Amino acid sequence: MGLILIIGMATVGTLETLKKIQAEGGNADMDTILNLATTYSAPYAAYSNIILLFIACCWLFSVIDAYRIGKRNLLNRRDEKES
């Protein structure tokens, strides 16, 4: 959710600036758009790293949890077959 917020804020800022450039009669080429997107996303770079770390930790926890649940289910099935 946080990463979506950061991307959204950078996109809105870039689009607003592009509208101003076009209203003044200027041309917006890909270099201009890239520079604007970089400028608007730079203040959130630290947050994006923290968010990506959090996502990686959640993913790792999910993998470990799925392994544990699978192993427990396998043991339960073996116990049921032996009974």
Centroid of chain to Cα 20: 28
> For residue 25, how many other CB atoms are within 10 A of its CB?
6
Instruction: For residue 67, give Cα distances in angstroms to 55, 61, 72.
Output: 18, 10, 9
The number of angstroms, rounded, from the C-alpha of 8 to the middle of its chain's C-alpha atoms is 11
Ordered by start, the domain boundaries in the chain are 2-82
What proportion of the chain, given as a percentage, has pLDDT over 70? Answer: 93
Say what the pTM is. Answer: 0.50
Give the CA angle between residues 17, 19, 25 to the nearest 5°.
110
pLDDT value for 70: 94
